[in-house]
Amino acid sequence: AQRVTQPEKLLSVFKGAPVELKCNYSYSGSPELFWYVQYSRQRLQLLLRHISRESIKGFTADLNKGETSFHLKKPFAQEEDSAMYYCALTYTNAGKSTFGDGTTLTVKP
C-alpha cells in the first residue's frame, strides 16, 4: 500500500538556522513526490515537485529512492517560512495523491 509519512508533527527552529522536514514514502512503483505548503488561513499551495528539481523560496528536496525519502531542506530559515508543510505522493498514471499528515514549521525570531 502507498503511504507517506512525515514523522515530525511540529518543528521549531530559530531564524537563520537550517531546517529539514522529513518525508518518507512507501510505494512499489515510480512515484512523483511533491511538497505543499499552507500558510495561515490560506489554501494549500504547491511548493516543490521532485521532477523539476528546482528551488522555490530557498527550499530544495531530493528524492532518495534507496531510502524512499523526499526531505525538504532550507539552509537558512526565515520567519515567513512558518507554515504547514505537506509531503505528497502521486501515482502518475492514476492521478491519485496520498498526502502525509503535515509538519507545522515555526521559525522563531
Question: What is the distance between the alpha carbons of residues 101 and 109, in angstroms, rounded to a whole number?
Answer: 26
Question: What is the distance between the alpha carbons of residues 17 and 45, in angstroms, rounded to a whole number?
Answer: 24
Comparing CB distances to another protein, the nearer of 24 and 97 is 97
Q: How far is the CB of 68 from another protein (least distance, A)?
A: 21
Question: What is the distance between the alpha carbons of residues 14 and 34, in angstroms, rounded to a whole number?
Answer: 25
Comparing CB distances to another protein, the nearer of 60 and 84 is 84
21: amino acid identity, one letter: L
Q: How far is CA 85 from the centre of its chain?
A: 6
State which of positions 12-51 bind another protein (CB under 8 A).
34, 36, 38-44, 46, 49
Q: How far is the CB of 43 from another protein (least distance, A)?
A: 4
Residues that bind another protein (CB under 8 A): 34, 36, 38-44, 46, 49, 82-84, 86, 90, 92-97, 99, 101-102, 104, 106
